[in-house]
Amino acid sequence: MIESGFDRRDFLKVLGWGGAAVALTGCGNTSVQDGKETVVSYVEASDYMIPGVSVYFNSTCTQCEASCNINGRVREGRVLKLEGNAASAINRGKLCGLGQAGVQHHYNPDRVREPLLRKGTSGETITWEAALKLINEKLTGVSGDQIAFLSGSVSGHLKVLLGNYMDSLSSKNHFVYEAISPAVQRAANKKSYGVEMPKFSLNKAKVILSFGADFLGSWVSPVHFSQQYAQFRKGVEGKRGVLVQVESKMTLTGANADRWLAVRPGTEGVLALGLVNALGAAGTALSADVAAAVKDFDKARVTKDTGVSGEHLDKLVALLKERTPSLVLSGNGAEGYAHGSQNAAAINLLNHVLGNVGKTIEAPAVVPFPQMLSANGNSASLKKLNDGMAAGNYKVLFTYAANPVFTAPASMKLADSLNKVGFKVAFAHYMDETAMAADLVLPLDSALEDWGTHIAEYQPEGGQISIQQPLMEKLHANTRGAGDILLALIKQRRAEEYKAFEDYYAYLRTAVLQNKAALGGGAAEDDTFWDETLTSGIVKVAGATTALSGSTAVTAPVAAASDAQYPLFLIPGITANLRDGRHANQPWLQESPDPLTTIVWDSWVEIHPKKAAELGIVEGDMVEVTSKSGSVKAQAYLFPGIHPDAISIPLGRGQSWGRYAKGNGVNPFQILDAVFDKETGELAINETRVQIKKTSKRVIVIKDEGSAGGKQFGRKIAVSVSSNEVDLSKEV
């Protein structure tokens, strides 16, 4: 026997403990034993909370303006995942990547947590009482004309409250701004159809001809349209729908087209009028006015101007004649020019000529609460505000859900104008560029902590009000909802009227219950109706429909002359994930590859391989893109889906804040020329002309397409089949 003070039993004890300790700390994230975290994070749990069992709450996504209805999975008091709400007419249980990243907005480590007051170049934490008192002081003695409120698109009770607050200040200066919006389209639709946003029935169309409308990616209500698109592909009467996309820079929708037609930038309207002319020649009835308006757009001219071949033109005309109804859409690709409104009108004319109005373009349902309907943002309003600020008209400026310092072109000199405003208050989630320029920053609750009602601008079926409710307790004690802040502010003016409302929740509940009957509550008890409303997250209301009307008047779109010094068009890319960049600090969105280029975490310059060869540029060359208004440097990516006369840089990157956003890429908003659509005054985002210069630096493009550059080399990985070889109607 070997004598030893260390027996087997003791040894096992040691090993056992060691093993347990490793197991417990192995995952490194949570540990009950070391007391860092408790498994159930509250003392008294609600009845329905069972540790280990998830509960689901309905709410509304606020990542974009589509107001998709969401269903949040909550476990142990924490929201874990967002899904779509299956009862929603908008998204029917589905949710895009941007929407799902809403949890990363909520849990974002870079959120503002305390009210901050500017002290020189830095911010000093102050209390809410002090912040609100300060606002009151700054507003004292200032007339309503000298106060402005800049917000993103806003609807529901928040819009009502905001309107009332502006009334209490005797101010009419509420500017609703979205850097990327279908504002030109709204104006064109109003003229063509009598409504700003009709109902588009993609699923009833046999052919969709889209002029730069990225309805699968970022246009109006992408999740809704994606679902309609799936039905459209399965086909009406068993005949698979055909998508033809006309644009200068391929979008996600373009990448899914049966035929993608590269059009010379800005000539979309010419092509549309050419199609009308050709349809007339092929026997489609045209009114005398229309025939006169399009008579100059013969095939020779159209092919010459647009670069689209006569063969494709003929096939397209034949297709549109043969398969009806069709649907013609106009989007940012066609509208972002100084003649954008004319392009949109010409494109809308096609719907009249093809008889689509009333079939695939229908009257929308209008929610019968006009004061709550969405105030839709555009960029013309920013110009107006900017002009006012530059003239020194405003002493106090509030900003909410907008980051104009980042999204306004540098040529607008917005930062200088802001300096002329005496006191700037930013309602902020992050210390973004606009919050950094503010004098007072008010930290907001995340969308998953806040109450709200939303009425989407695009209403697919009937009318619906989407309810937003908190999915969990507030993460940070000192953030507040925008509604709560506005309520506190309005109490400074109209204490009597609002004294009954302790908080925004109370206001919202009272407001909803006051309209119980109109909201379909009937004779239900208040509490019952309220609970039902929160449970479903959707209030369906009988929407009034207005009949479509409208004119077919068009003026021939005139493109701006080319510029020898700046020969290329800069068409900023609007990506489904990043859009205008407000969510760029959500890492899932940064690491999610751009569908078309597969690039991650950075900006790039899309350039056609032919043009690149001409300029001696290869992939990864850092190129300098210079416009009249400035220049940016980014890596080149050779991209076949772009017209050789254009280049594209995606929007949404180049922030100066946020651990996941900062330092990744460049902000092409900066170098946009201040050119505006002639009719609506919208910023013409595709109108900037640039020159491109290779620098001496070359980098490795960080992308997901693999070393083969997205080629299959004969292996059958992603396979295509021609439509005449299959019959989808026979499929399960």
Partner 1 sequence: MSVTNLLENWSQFRHFHPVDDKPHDPYKWAMSIDLDTCTGCNACSVACFAENNIPVVGKDKFEHGQQMHWMRIERYWDEDVSNPGGRDFPDQGAQFLPMMCQQCEAAPCETVCPVAATNHTPDGLNSQIYNRCIGSRYCSANCPFKVRYFNWYDYPTDDSVWPAEMNQQLNPDVSVRSKGVMEKCTFCVQRISAAKVTAKNEGRLVHEGEIQTACQQACPTNAITFGNLVDTESRVHKQWEAQRVEIDKDKQEKDEEKGGTDLRGYRILEELRAYPSVMYLERVRESAV
Pick the closer one to partner 1 by CB: 259 or 493.
259
Give the Å distances, CA to CA, from 532 to 152, 419, 452, 516, 538: 30, 48, 16, 12, 9
Asked whether position 712 contacts partner 1 by CB under 8 A, the answer is: yes
Contact residue for partner 1 among 2, 43, 500, 700 (CB under 8 A): 700
In whole angstroms, give the CA distance from residue 372 to residue 170: 20
Contact 629, 410 (CB under 8 A): yes
Which listed residue (233, 516, 628, 678) binds partner 1 by CB under 8 A? Answer: 233
> Cα separation of 312 and 320, whole Å?
12
Q: CB-wise, 240 or 384, nearer to partner 1?
A: 240
- Residue range at the interface with partner 1 (CB under 8 A); choices 244-252, 279-287, 350-358, 408-416: 244-252
Strands (DSSP E) contained in 444-500 are 452-454, 463-468
- Please pick, from the candidates 124, 289, 416, 704, the single residue that binds partner 1 as defined by CB under 8 A: 704
Closer residue to partner 1, CB minimum distance, 477 or 700:
700
Q: Determine how many CB atoms are found less than 10 A away from the CB of residue 55.
A: 15
Applying CB under 8 A, which part among 191-199, 313-321, 426-434, 528-536 lies near partner 1? 313-321
Residue type, 152: G
Residue 259 interacts with partner 1 (CB under 8 A): yes or no = yes
| Least distance to partner 1, CB of residue 407, Å | 23
Residues 654 and 667: their CA atoms lie apart, in Å, by: 5
Q: Report if residue 103 touches partner 1, rule: CB under 8 A.
A: yes
Residues 495-534 interacting with partner 1 (rule: CB under 8 A): none
Select from 60, 85, 91, 407 the one that contacts partner 1 (CB under 8 A).
91
Query: What whole-number distance in Å separates Cα of residue 556 and Cα of residue 25?
Result: 71
Amino acid symbol at 399: T
What residues have CB less than 8 Å from 115, skipping those under 6 apart? Answer: 125, 126, 127, 128, 130, 131, 440, 441, 442, 443, 478
How many residues line the site for partner 1 (CB under 8 A)?
110
Interface stretch with partner 1, choices 6-14, 371-379, 388-396, 713-721 (CB under 8 A) = 713-721
- Choose the binding region for partner 1 from 168-176, 214-222, 353-361, 649-657 (rule: CB under 8 A): 214-222
- The set of residues, in sequence order, having a beta carbon less than 8 Å from that of 305 and lying 6+ positions away, is 264, 267, 270
Looking only at residues 614 through 673 of this chain, which bind partner 1 when binding is defined by CB under 8 A?
638, 640-641, 644, 659, 664
Residues 465-484 interacting with partner 1 (rule: CB under 8 A): 475
Using CB under 8 A as the binding rule, whether residue 95 contacts partner 1 is answered as yes
CB of 250 to partner 1, least distance (A): 7
Q: Which is nearer to partner 1, 102 or 521 (CB)?
A: 102
How far is it, in rounded angstroms, from Cα 256 to Cα 244?
A: 9
Q: Tell me which residues in 149-208 interact with partner 1 (CB under 8 A).
A: none
DSSP state of 573: B
d(CA 251, CA 210): 11
Nearer to partner 1, 517 or 728 (CB): 728
- Contacting residue, 610, 662, 695, 697, with partner 1 by CB under 8 A: 610
d(CA 480, CA 112): 11
Q: Contact at 8 Å (CB) between 97 and 81?
A: no
Identify the CA nearest to 488 among candidates 140, 261, 165. 165
Closer of 358 and 620 to partner 1 (Cβ): 620
Does 217 participate in binding partner 1 (rule CB under 8 A)? yes
- Selected binder of partner 1 within 122, 565, 696, 724 (CB under 8 A): 724
Binding mask 48-87 for partner 1 (x = CB under 8 A): ----x----------------------xx-xxxxxxx---
- Identify which of residues 523 and 721 has a Cβ nearer to partner 1 in the complex: 721
Site for partner 1 in 113-152 (CB under 8 A): none
Looking at 252, 366, 372, 397, which residue binds partner 1 (CB under 8 A)?
Answer: 252
Strands (E), 639-700: 646-648, 689-698
600 binds partner 1 (CB under 8 A): yes
**Residue 55: enclosing H or E segment and its boundaries?**
strand 55-60
Question: Minimum distance from CB of 1 to partner 1 (Å)?
Answer: 36
Residues 517/542, Cβ–Cβ less than 8 Å: no
Rounded to the nearest whole angstrom, what is the least distance from the CB of residue 646 to partner 1 in the complex?
12
CA distance 674 to 417: 15
Question: Residue 26 interacts with partner 1 (CB under 8 A)?
Answer: yes
Under a CB-based contact definition with an 8 Å cutoff, are residues 421 and 397 in contact?
Answer: yes
CA distance 9 to 13: 6
